[in-house]
Every structure is written in structure tokens, then in C-alpha cells.
Amino acid sequence: MFEFNKSVIVGYDLSNEYSQISYYTAGDALAKTVSIREGEEEYCIPPVLFKRSEVNQWFVGADATAYSEAHEGELIGRLWDRALVGESVTVGGEKFDPLALLTLYVRRTLNLLTNLVNKKDVTGIMFTVPNLTKRAIEVLSVVTSSLDFKSARISFMGREESIFYYVINQPEELWKRDVVVYDYNGSRITGFKFRLNRITRPVVCFVDRQEFALDKEDDRDKDRRFLDIVHETTDGQLVSCAYLLGDGFNGDWCRDSLAELCRNRRLFKGNNLYSRGACYAMQDKLASSSGENKKIVFLGNDKLKANIGMDVIRGKEKSYYALLDGGENWFDSRKRVEVILDEGNTFTITITPLDGRGVRHIEIVLDGLKDHEPKSVRLRIEAIMESEDMLRLNVTDLGFGEFYPASDQLFTRTISLMGGEEPV
């Protein structure tokens, strides 16, 4: 049985191939992964539903697979993809919303935690998916809106970031150099390479992703092909260790390729890296205080790749004011601040790329702003990321008391973080 009043963090890996759920309880050394069979290490939950014919009875995961073999009805797969594209499902002449089906699946599978932890103790749930797109965020937002975890903070991330969090929570000697991860589902290998840029401050981490076909039937051919993939992803690189994920690596077909992969590096095999990484990510998110500087920042495709701020005067001292912090999800990056314009009709923002490229100082000109005395105009500045690269600034004239009433003029500027400014 579980203990009450112990904070619990959950990591949920969701895809078309399988789902996994890991959890971390305060005081434990490591995150644990839920097995679908008690006492065994069967972590992969089949991502399927089964509806029995002519009755409103639904089964999920391993139960769905078992019931589909013994009863009449319909087995429904591709739940994640169906939800992403809005593909409805017809069962017995009745049409079902794919978002409702995915929600049912997630709710039921999270019930596997019931005998392990108290729902009331769950303080955070991190979902990780193969690709964190805008549509994926919309789907996850709908699915999680009805979950019965009232006190839990819920967040989303891509698998590249879950790899980052898993790796940096291992002993540091394992990631002093690059780390490679190979995920094999039986037809293709997804390769990830974890690498650090230690020149920058903070240190920046990138996780590069590649897809490789590996659908050979002959074991010798598969071994040769994987050996080619190993050479392509590691030759000329200093790699500390490698991880093998997925049932495709079962058996002894990859003898030569593994011998090469183990040469001068550590090798680990498992299936629960993503969900455990999601646990560590949520732990970090809940533990980090606002504005805390991180020693290592992950820069994936969904991350803001620059610090954005401006110089301000506080008292008599000049200081830097952060508008948006690099390393955060770009789609979550927005801030509103009110400032007093010293004089004229311009101010400057500073863009500091985290990859070590040069700092840019961009003058924002408010064409048409009425003439004013020094320090007599109050501005509301709203900074919003519209894409991974594009920053939008909304600047509103709020005036300054009775003598300088607000004009409510709105000035909008769109700025590419890679270079260039486009007035709108």
C-alpha cells in the first residue's frame, strides 16, 4: 500500500506504439515505472481500446488486447494519431470523437497508479510525446483538462527533452561527453544524440534527432545496417555512453554492431527512459524557484533560443531587466511590463543568443508617439513569441496622470531572433 502525505510526481510517455508511466515519490532515490503485471517488468502499455459489441463496455491497454481475442467487438488503435488529425472512429455504427477516446485511454491507464500512490499526493504530471507541436499541445490540453488530479500541475514536453532530463540525472561521468540513444520499434530506428556546448554560460545542451530505416528480415543484414548507423552517428565523436530502447533490440541479432558500440563507452538497455525523464523534468519544474539561473539549458526545437531583455534605470543604477528567458518553451514565452520612457520615442531591447552568437541591440522606434517631457510617458510593453524565431512586441501608450492622459496608441513590432526587424 502507499503512504499518505508523500509528494508524488508522474511522468507519462504517450505514443502510437506504447505508453509508459513512471512516478517519483519524495524521499526515493530513483523514479519507478508502473508494470502492467504485478511483480514483472512489463512497462509498455498497449495504446488500444476495445469496445464489446452491442454493449457500452470499454477495455484499455492489455485488457483491451486480451478481450479482443475472446469477445466480439472492435479493437481501436492509433489513438494518438487519430486525435492529432481529428479522425473520428465508427464502432457498431456509432461515431466517436478521437479526443474523447484518447481521454478515456489516458484516464484509465493512470488508474494503474491507484494501488501504488494516493492521487491526492500527486503534485505534478509531465506528459512526453514523440513531437511536441502546437496541435499536440492542443490535444494534450483537452485530454488533461478532465483528469482527476486536482492538486497536480500538468505540463508537456517532447521526447528530446525527456532524454535531456534523463541523462543529466545520471552520474556525470556518463555524460561528460556526447550520449547516443537508439530507439528501435522493429521497422525504423530513431537516433538521438545528446551534446553539450560548454563554452556558453549557461552551458547549452542540444539533442539531435535522426530517423533510419531498419526493416531487414535477415539478422546478418540487420546487424550490418545497424553497424552502419552506429558509425554514422558516432564516428569522429567523443561518446561517453549509449542507450538501446525498444523491443526491436530483443534477441542476439546485433552482435557486431553492439561490439562496436561498446568500444570505449558504456552501454545500457531498457524501455522506460522517456517516462523517467519526464518525471525528472517535472521534479525540476516544481523545485526551481522563479528566475533561478540553470547551469545547463536544453535547446530543442520548441525552446526559446535567446534571452530577451532591456536596460532600465532603477533608482540611479542601470540594470538589465529580463523580458523572456531562453530555454523556456517558446509557446509559453510572454511577459507584460510597464515602464516610464525617459525621453524621445525610442527604447532598446537586447537579444542574447544562447548558442554563443553575438549579442544584438535593437532600437524600437515608436513613430507617431506624441511629444512629451522627460519621464512623462508610461508604456506597457508586451513581449510574445509567435514562433520559435519570431518575437512580437506590443507597446501601448498609457500616459502619465492628469497632465499627460493616455492616448492608447498601440505600436507593434515583429523581430526575428535570427536577424531583422519588420514593422507592422
Q: Which of 242-251, 285-294, 304-313 has the lowest mean pLDDT?
A: 285-294
What is the chain's mean pLDDT, rounded? Answer: 89
Position 89 confidence tier, pLDDT thresholds 50, 70, 90: very high
Band of residue 314 on the pLDDT scale cut at 50, 70, 90: confident
pLDDT score of 23: 96
Predicted local confidence at residue 293, as pLDDT: 55
CATH of 8-150, one of 3.90.110.10, 3.40.50.10440, 3.30.420.40, 3.30.830.10: 3.30.420.40
Exposure b/e, 339-378, CB count within 10 A at least 16 = b: bebeeebebebbbbbbeeeeebebebebeebeebeeebbb
Is it the case that residue 187 has pLDDT exceeding 90?
A: no
One CATH from 3.30.420, 3.40.50, 3.30.870, 1.10.10 for 162-275: 3.30.420
* DSSP strand pairing (239-245 vs 266-270): parallel
Model confidence at 122: pLDDT above 70: yes
pLDDT at residue 269 tops 80: yes
State whether residue 268 is helix, strand or coil: strand
Q: Is pLDDT of 244 > 90? A: yes
The mean pLDDT value for 310-322 works out to 87
pLDDT bucket at 125, cuts 50 / 70 / 90? very high
Q: For residue 5, what pLDDT is reported?
A: 57
Q: Residue 338: its pLDDT value, please? A: 94
The per-residue pLDDT for range 276-299, each reduced to its tens digit, is 999 999 998 888 744 455 788 898
pLDDT the model gives residue 291? 43
Convert the pLDDT of each residue in 193-204 to its tens digit.
999 988 887 889
CB-based contact 9:123 (threshold 8 Å): yes
306-423 CATH, one of 1.10.3470, 1.10.10, 2.60.34, 2.30.30: 2.60.34
How confident is the model over 357-375, as a mean pLDDT?
Answer: 85
- Pinpoint the alpha helices (H) of 145-215: 159-168
Q: Please determine, for residue 342, whether its predicted confidence score (pLDDT) is greater than 90.
A: no
Q: Pick the more confident residue, 172 or 314.
A: 172
| φ, ψ dihedrals at 17, nearest 5° | -80, -40
pLDDT for 2 equals 44
| pLDDT greater than 60 at residue 32 | yes
How far apart, in whole angstroms, are the C-alpha atoms of residue 272 and residue 270? 6
Q: 46: helix, coil or strand?
A: coil
Strand order in the sheet with 58-60: 58-60, 49-52, 73-76
Place of cell 481529428: 86
Question: Is residue 381 very low, low, confident or very high in pLDDT (cuts 50, 70, 90)?
Answer: very high
Residue 100 has pLDDT above 70, yes or no: yes
At 290 the pLDDT is 42
Percent of the chain whose pLDDT exceeds 90: 62
- Top-confidence residue, 354 or 212: 212
For CATH 3.30.420.40, the residue range(s) in the chain are 8-150
Q: What is the value of pTM for the model shown? A: 0.84
Tell me the mean pLDDT in the region 14-38: 91
Predicted pLDDT at 418: 79
Which residues partner with 52 through β-bridges?
Answer: 73
Does pLDDT of 94 surpass 60? yes
Residues of the chain with CATH 2.60.34: 306-423
Query: pLDDT band at 65, cuts 50/70/90?
Result: very high
d(CA 238, CA 340): 51
Average pLDDT of the residues in 356-361: 86
Q: Identify the pLDDT of residue 141.
A: 95
> Does 411 score more than 60 pLDDT?
yes
Q: CA 140 to CA 145: how far, in whole Å?
A: 8
Split at pLDDT 50, 70, 90, the class of 420 is: low
